[in-house]
Amino acid sequence: MHAVSDCIFCKIVAGEIPCFKLYENEESLAFMDINPVSSGHCLIVPKQHGADLLAISDAGLCAAACTAKKVARAVKATLDTRGLNLLQCNGEAAGQSVLHFHIHIIPREMDDGMAMNWDIVPGDMAAIGVLAEQIRNNIED
Ligand code: 5GP
Ligand code: ZN
């Protein structure tokens, strides 16, 4: 498994630093976040290093996504939480602090005050359409 020597999540995957492990399979690992934003906050990583969504392999992404679903079910069963956010940050501007792809599972309760949601404000349909065309043209198989 390709690891990056100064990556904290590679070190967790390698067992070089401890974690509260929840689940692992050949390609992914789930463990508790040690700075939880809510009780039960946990993280899923592909074992193979890749900084973000654009850098990881499709296999790593699929493994992490399937593990996220499995762990989310267990978090809900354990905490009987009313909701769950899955969060995945790419780049400093998006709030990414650890440069090894990861998916957050964040348990939510009604009116818990977490500033993660936004009000629905209708957009400019013409501008949305123009952007859709530009993005479509940049999609590669
Ligand atoms: P990001 O800000 O990159 O989306 O999320 C990184 C997450 O990793 C943060 O929620 C942070 O609390 C968590 N984290 C950072 N260092 C460690 C660590 O050594 N162990 C664990 N379990 N989580 C960590
Ligand atoms: Zn890494």
User: Considering the domain boundaries, does residue 84 fall inside one?
Assistant: yes
User: Considering the domain boundaries, does residue 83 fall inside one?
Assistant: yes
User: Considering the domain boundaries, does residue 18 fall inside one?
Assistant: yes
Catalytic residue (choose from 49, 100, 102, 104): 102
What's the domain count of the chain?
Answer: 1
User: Considering the domain boundaries, does residue 36 fall inside one?
Assistant: yes
User: Considering the domain boundaries, does residue 96 fall inside one?
Assistant: yes
Beta strands in 47-102 (DSSP E): 83-87
- Low-confidence winner among 12-16, 80-84, 116-120 (lowest mean pLDDT): 116-120
Range(s) of the domain holding residue 57:
8-114
**pLDDT of res. 117:** 82
pLDDT digits (tens, 9 = 90+) for 61-114: 999 999 999 999 999 999 999 999 999 999 999 999 999 999 999 999 999 999
**pLDDT of res. 1:** 59
User: Considering the domain boundaries, does residue 128 fall inside one?
Assistant: no
Decide which of 117 and 108 is more confident.
Answer: 108
Query: Is 104 in the active site?
Result: no
DSSP 88-130: ---SGGGT--SSS--EEEEEE-TT---TT--------HHHHHH
- The DSSP 8-state label assigned to residue 53 in this structure reads T
CATH number of the domain where residue 81 is located: 3.30.428.10
Chain-wide mean pLDDT for the chain? 95
Q: How far is the CA of 24 from the centre of ligand 2 (A)?
A: 16
